[in-house]
Amino acid sequence: MTIANVAQRNARGLPQDLRTAQEAIHLPEVQEMLRKLSEYKLGIFMPHMHNEQTGEFQSIPDEIMQVESGLKVSFQPTKDRFLPVGWFWRSGAAAPLSVCEMVAEERSGDTERYGKHTM
């Protein structure tokens, strides 16, 4: 498996931890992890956010996660009503990093609750 090297030169302006992530995707062991993850319909992404004034890439602080709510993405402190959709290894364990805000919907005569995306 190979990853297209679309614009690797653009990674030069990134913070060091994000440059490391960009370079790591080309390592054989990371490619093997990606292959294995794909069997479960999972993938790899580079957790990041952008400076609101400059647009520069930034790492996501430990106490913040990416939230999709109302079909918009924001960065907020961790909360309970979110469905994790992205994980990161922090402090020796998998931790949610990207989530969707959900609302519960009960259907008549059904004991199961269905999660819907907040609109």
* Segment 2-56, tens digit of pLDDT: 444 445 566 778 999 999 999 999 999 999 999 999 999 999 999 999 999 999 9
- For 88, the enclosing helix (H) or strand (E) is strand 82-90
* Segment 90-108, tens digit of pLDDT: 888 888 888 888 776 666 6
Mean pLDDT of 48-73: 90
User: Is 117's pLDDT higher than 70?
Assistant: no
The per-residue pLDDT for 116 is 65
* Dist. CA 40–CA 44, nearest whole Å: 12
Domain ranges of the chain: 1-59, 61-119
Chain-centroid distance of CA 64 in Å reads 12
pTM score, whole prediction: 0.68
